[in-house]
Amino acid sequence: MTDFIINNPITLRGCILYEFTKGKGPFRTYQKLMKKLGDDCMTYPEFEFWYMRFARGNFDLDYDISLEPKKRQITDLPVDLFEKIGDSLHFVDRNQLRLVSKDIQFRVDNWDPQVTRFSCCNYHYWEIVQNSKTHEFHRLLLQRVYPTPDIFRMLKNPKLRLKNLTIYKDTMVKWEIIEKELRKSSIKLHVNNLDAKDPDYPIDISLFAPESLEEVSLSINNKSIEKVKETLHSEQCKHLKMLTIRTKLSPAMFPLESLIGYPRFTIEFKGGSADMTLAQFIKVIKLVKCTQLESAKLVCRRSSREPIKRHLNDKETMVPDRPNIRRYPIQGSTDFYEINVGKTVISIERKSQEIFIICC
pLDDT in tens, 332-357: 788 888 989 888 888 999 998 755 44
- Examine residue 8 and state whether it is found in any structural domain, yes or no: yes
**45: domain range?**
2-71
**69 falls in which pLDDT band (50, 70, 90)?**
confident
Give the chain's length: 360
- Examine residue 203 and state whether it is found in any structural domain, yes or no: no
Cα–Cα distance measured from residue 346 to residue 289, given in angstroms and rounded to the nearest whole number: 17
String of DSSP letters for 241-266: SEEEEEESS-TTTS-GGGGTT-SEEE
- Examine residue 264 and state whether it is found in any structural domain, yes or no: no
**121 falls in which pLDDT band (50, 70, 90)?**
confident
Cα–Cα distance measured from residue 227 to residue 304, given in angstroms and rounded to the nearest whole number: 31
**261 falls in which pLDDT band (50, 70, 90)?**
confident
Closest CA to 210 of 251, 186, 238, 180: 238
pLDDT, greater one: 225 or 75: 225
Q: Is the pLDDT of residue 185 over 70?
A: yes
- Examine residue 300 and state whether it is found in any structural domain, yes or no: no
- Examine residue 48 and state whether it is found in any structural domain, yes or no: yes
- Examine residue 67 and state whether it is found in any structural domain, yes or no: yes
| pLDDT tens digits for range 25-53 | 888 898 888 888 887 788 888 888 899 99
- Examine residue 55 and state whether it is found in any structural domain, yes or no: yes
pLDDT score at 145: 44
pLDDT score at 165: 96
Least confident of 4-8, 26-30, 122-126, 166-170: 122-126
Q: 133 vs 96, 129, 167, 193, CA distance in Å?
A: 19, 5, 19, 19
pLDDT score at 72: 62
pLDDT score at 358: 45
pLDDT score at 28: 87
Q: Is the pLDDT of residue 209 over 90?
A: yes
Nearest-10 crossing angle of helices 44-55, 9-20: 60
pLDDT score at 273: 58
Mean pLDDT value across residues 111-127: 84
Total of domains in the chain = 1
Closest CA to 167 of 143, 191, 186, 135: 191
67-92: burial string, b at 16+ Cβ within 10 Å, e else: eeeeeeeeeeeeeeebeeebeebebe
- Examine residue 37 and state whether it is found in any structural domain, yes or no: yes
